[in-house]
Amino acid sequence: MNDRPSVRIGNGCGFYGDQLDAPRDLVRSGNLDYLTLEYLAELTLSILARRREKDPSHGYAHDFLYVVESLVPDLSKPNAPKIITNAGGMNPPSCARAVADILCAAGLADRRIAVVTGDDIMSHVDSWLDDGEPLEHLDSGRPLTDVRERLVSANAYLGAAPIVEALRRGTDIVITGRVADASLTVAPARFVFGWSDEDTEQLAQATVAGHLIECGAQATGGYSTSWESLQLTDVGYPIAVLDANGELRITKPAGTGGAVTVRTITEQLLYEVGDPSAYLTPDLILDVTGVRLEQVEPDLVAVRGATTRGIPARYKVSAAYRAGYQTSGQLVVYGEDCLRKADAIAGMVLERVRRAGFELERFHVEKLGTGDAVPRSSDQAAVPDALREVVLRIAVADSDRRAVERFSREWAPLVTSGPAGIGGYTQARQPVRPVYAFWPATVAKSRVDPLVRIDVRPATQWACAGKHDSGSTDSSP
């Protein structure tokens, strides 16, 4: 496989909730070797952990099942792209069983599915805390013991290595839990070209490729300042074309909307990056300060010059803990007096909550339409004189669920016991939701690596395992 000229890796999903048909469209027009699908944002795992608590067969990104269904005709063809996804979330084996059921029903029972686990470190947290691994908060430096009682989930960001191993064993679909976004791209390139840890330039280029395509259409004109000149309705999703020597080009399928330009790539290059000379991934510390971009032809940008500052000894950890309850309400306030009225309504609701015996720990009032969405220094001038309508939004938080529920309860009565000229209620009572707060930390790789398991089986065997719930059989690290 090493003499292969290049590998085409397309990303058809940038987060859990992205366009459902994008993967299908990308596969049909992208001539892909690999399709990656990224489902896990910072707090997605805590939501999936809660779902698994309620139903042990849940806890993964269900959108992926729709995607697999939509791809059945394509997967039946020879040279179908292999799929690499972290859709497994908190429950990769259950996800694999559901995918296997779809494949078996479609006559694709021989397709091999790999499951990568070991990222879920929740059951090890206590012993590690005892053992001198404080899992301290990356920003505040506080030890995890501060929130241990309220901890909901804790996952390490695994890298490319277990996916490379899964591909080496022969697999059509790789389903993982928390694997870092960029590693979903690094893995197939590393597998195809047989790179070793010493091939640092190539690995840095593959990592920047993964970073560029991990948010889907954000590399191809989505979320662009220049949106007006781009046809975003049918925006094409990004494809990274990598060579054995690490040469990288980013493109998108012909005939799709959006654009791949030096500008769209530059905007994505630094998206959610802190220090651009030290972007931490599980595989390496990426330095993009030397990156140069060239528009080779329309919708084809060459990316050169990514480097690395070495291989980190620690994995990033994404943990989540219970942090009380929240809700928010929104309504339209109309009339020449809309601003005064919105202020009065906010005061009224909060006072009624207070009189019911609840002092809300936090609340935030926004008059959307006046610049409140981004509080700047001197924004009052931005409010037009003849403002006729404004959206009043109040969000509240409290550790006592009852306080938040009381606020929610006070929202609907405004329609008859508030001023004239308010409307746009979407719900009589705003749903109260539990809040899971993010706890970023790091952990020594040597603690996590022994937990990693790779389980490759044909779909028939996964489907079987689902029915008998026998768990893993031939798994090995």
Partner 1 sequence: MKLVQLATARSGDKGNHANIVVVARWASAFAWLQDHLTCQRVAEFFGGLQPTRVERFVLPNVQAFNFVLYDVLDGGGSLSLRSDTQGKLLGTAILDLPCDGAPLETLSS
Binding stretches for partner 1 (CB under 8 A): 42-43, 138-139, 218, 223-226, 262-263, 266-277, 288-293, 305, 323, 326, 328, 362-364, 366, 368, 373-377, 379, 393, 395-397, 435-438, 440
Closest approach, Cβ 153 to partner 1, in A, equals 13
Best CA proximity match to 141, nearest among 445, 444, 442:
442
Three-class secondary structure of residue 457 per DSSP: strand
Task: Select 18 or 25, whichever has its Cβ closest to partner 1.
Answer: 18
Long-range contacts of 125-128 (CB under 8 A, 24+ apart): 125/151, 125/154, 128/443, 128/447
Closest approach, Cβ 253 to partner 1, in A, equals 23
Closest approach, Cβ 62 to partner 1, in A, equals 21
Closest approach, Cβ 265 to partner 1, in A, equals 8
Task: Select 175 or 397, whichever has its Cβ closest to partner 1.
Answer: 397
Task: Select 130 or 139, whichever has its Cβ closest to partner 1.
Answer: 139
The one-letter amino acid at 298: P
Closest approach, Cβ 171 to partner 1, in A, equals 33
Q: How far apart are CA 408 and CA 428, in angstroms?
A: 9
Task: Select 193 or 321, whichever has its Cβ closest to partner 1.
Answer: 321
Task: Select 356 or 373, whichever has its Cβ closest to partner 1.
Answer: 373
DSSP-assigned letter for residue 436 = E
Where are any strands of DSSP class E within 351-462? 362-368, 389-398, 422-423, 433-444, 453-458
Cα→Cα distances 256→34, 56, 230, 447, Å: 19, 40, 10, 45
Three-class secondary structure of residue 4 per DSSP: coil
Q: How far apart are CA 30 and CA 213, in angstroms?
A: 14
Task: Select 139 or 149, whichever has its Cβ closest to partner 1.
Answer: 139
- Is residue 100 within 8 Å of residue 72, measured between CB atoms? no
Q: How far apart are CA 34 and CA 418, in angstroms?
A: 57
Task: Select 271 or 425, whichever has its Cβ closest to partner 1.
Answer: 271
Task: Select 95 or 144, whichever has its Cβ closest to partner 1.
Answer: 144
Q: What is the full DSSP assignment across 408-434?
A: HHTTTTHHHHS-SSEE--S-SSPPPEE
Identify the helix (H) or strand (E) that includes residue 459: helix 459-468
Q: How far apart are CA 428 and CA 410, in angstroms?
A: 10
Closest approach, Cβ 365 to partner 1, in A, equals 9
Closest approach, Cβ 33 to partner 1, in A, equals 28
Closest approach, Cβ 132 to partner 1, in A, equals 25
